[in-house]
Chain A
């Protein structure tokens, strides 16, 4: 059964449309850019969603638009999943696909969420679903609908129901490690501190976060169970302990320790035992990140003079330099398929997000034209990169497609937000 994007007719003229404006003020989604080919989709408001604590269609629209794959066509008809849409009418509005549904309060207080997706061009049903959820899960239900639409039309898994973690800073003494939906909404506090928190890292099963806390006035690595809040220090040696990175099998952590002088890479069991030194340079070696096959560690080293991205076999061995653009490259992130490296490259006073092949000497491309980019993190489907940057004097989180064409600014409260990490599939 065909389910690729090419399944739907795409008019080249769609690209001529201006940049999509803010999808909906209430969600503070700001999307900029135009993709070369985008699928025009109409997401009609869901019947009775205005009477529910949380409307579904606006979240679905914002998700699909942020992916860069879709262009939202206005839709405000009287239509739900049981209807028979007039396909010629929807074709006339420029839609290739149409989604509609309903939101009904059940006797037990939960909500029955139903939707259907149609191929307007072919005039046929594509998929329909229903689920009963408590009010607290309405946002998640909307994200799951967006995932279903995305998967049905692109053939790839959607990331809309995944989570992110990030650090927010309000004033000089208020730091929070927060867990939110991938659109930045629904943030919950995992940790509050008067001292800085940096470098959060998701365990591969999405159940734990490792991070660096300065609560004892030095850098110490902790792991914390997200659901229960149980936490433990796993690296608290003399000097600074930082940059935790989970191995893909979830059993090990790579960390940067200064316990033997300088900043060097070590690998240890997830509980902090079995500490083994991995790098032995006189330089700074830090920011480790595992390749998805778990066999190679990418990291930052200034052994060549300035910081560059290198890689080393996890079991030890030859260190190989990977980045060659300019004199300062930091913050590596590897795509889930292991093929693409994202990193921050400095040119003058501008720090900018770049991508290149993960193997040495690939050609690097800038993805932004901002000047204070930090901390890239790939979505688990490899199609988006989340990063932190500065806009209008505030620290904000952004997502970008890998070609740099579609960018979205994530919802956030007034605080400065930074250090985003995208969680895995499955919640």
Chain B
């Protein structure tokens, strides 16, 4: 994203805010937003597609959801879970091993584990369940030699589904932990 385009977006936003009744806080130019647009051509395409529909609301034109292409390459950095469970099943051992190796081979490297749940239940309980999933994966990597300080465990709960849908097929794809480099 060019700085000219982002400046234009901010100007449009400032105009929108000036019209708002009560003070409306826009989360403008947090440095992470700029950093993450390096998601590549795919992200830029989504950006342009959204800009026309978004009108004055420049925020919609920045797509942060799929900033980690590694998570999309067939799941080599994703662990899936059973309902209400945070147990890392054996079939995902290769994922844990590969990522533990990334950390043991380079002690300056950091990874973040992002835990997720399906949509059922409260946002906060699911946030905590996603946190447990993230921590379970982190713990598995630590048992294989990674340092605790190299991993941060966070959770999105049910807020960032990988698949929209209200059936078990969708839910199963959303009960996951993603290992990402930030």
Contacts and interface: CB of A to CB of B under 8 A. Distances in A.
A188 B22 contact: yes
Contact of B152 (A224, A239, A419): A239
Interface string B31-42: 011000000000
A79 B92 CA distance: 75
B59 A193 contact: yes
A174 B60 contact: yes
A190 B124 contact: no
A86 interface: no
Contact of B121 (A188, A243, A261, A330): A330
State the main secondary structure of chain B at its contact with A: mixed
Interface string A270-306: 0000000000000010110000000000001000001
B154 A192 contact: no
Given A172-B65, A188-B22, A198 B159 contact: yes
Contact of A215 (B27, B122, B131, B152): B27
A214 B156 CA distance: 8
Contacts of B50: 171, 173
Interface in B86-130: 112, 120-125, 127-129
B79 interface: no
B23 interface: yes
Given A192-B59, A216-B30, A238-B152, A374 B24 contact: no
A191 B125 CA distance: 23
B154 A189 contact: no
Interface in B37-87: 50, 54, 57, 59-60, 62-65, 84
A340 to B, nearest CB: 19
Interface string A291-323: 000000000100000110000000000000000
B25 A188 contact: no
Given A238-B152, A258-B153, A262-B132, A190 B60 contact: no
A349 B167 CA distance: 10
Contacts of A284: 125, 128-129, 132
A179 interface: yes
B160 interface: yes
A229 interface: yes
Contacts of B20: 188-189
B26 A192 contact: yes
Given A229-B24, A240-B154, A344 B122 contact: yes
Interface in A192-234: 192-196, 198-199, 212-219, 224-229, 231
B64 A286 contact: no
Interface string B131-170: 1100100000000000000001111110110000000000
B5 interface: no
Nearest to A193: B27
Contact of A231 (B25, B131, B153, B154): B25
A224 B25 contact: yes
25 contacts: A172-B65, A173-B59, A189-B20, A190-B23, A190-B25, A191-B24, A192-B24, A194-B33, A194-B59, A194-B63, A194-B64, A196-B156, A196-B159, A198-B157, A212-B127, A213-B27, A215-B27, A217-B154, A217-B182, A225-B23, A231-B25, A239-B131, A239-B154, A306-B84, A307-B121
Given A193-B59, A194-B64, 11 more contacts: A188-B24, A189-B20, A190-B22, A196-B156, A239-B152, A242-B124, A256-B124, A261-B135, A287-B122, A287-B124, A330-B124
